[in-house]
């Protein structure tokens, strides 16, 4: 385990709190950047006359360049594999 106490002279609780705040800040920045990139890609696709396909509420939806939405099909639920039993 790494010891940051020399680099960051604060007690464990304060360091954990500061790290969590920093992580949330980066996480929010990443989420915002991903959302903006998706919106830009959808706008460019529409301007180029292309359709965009995405998943919403378990359905595959296609949006045409004119904004018309069409449900393509219902998607199968995601299945999680059963864990293997432990060897005896």
- pTM over cut 0.85: no
- Check pLDDT > 80 for residue 44: yes
Q: 53 near 72, Cβ under 8 Å? A: yes
- Check pLDDT > 70 for residue 72: yes
- How confident is the model at residue 78, as a pLDDT? 81
pLDDT 10s digits, 10-38: 555 665 677 777 778 888 889 999 999 98
| Whole-angstrom distance, CA of residue 32 vs CA of residue 12 | 30
How large is the average pLDDT for residues 39-68? 92
Domain locations in the chain?
9-48, 50-80
Mean pLDDT of the chain: 82
């Amino acid at each position: 385990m790494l010891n940051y106490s020399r680099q960051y002279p604060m007690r464990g609780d304060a360091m954990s709190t500061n790290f969590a705040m920093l992580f949330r800040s980066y996480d929010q920045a990443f989420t915002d950047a991903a959302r903006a990139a998706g919106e830009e890609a959808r706008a460019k696709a529409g301007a180029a006359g292309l359709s965009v396909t995405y998943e919403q509420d378990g359905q595959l939806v296609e949006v045409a360049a004119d904004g018309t939405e069409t449900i393509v099909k219902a998607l199968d639920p995601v299945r999680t594999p059963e864990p293997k039993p432990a060897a005896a």
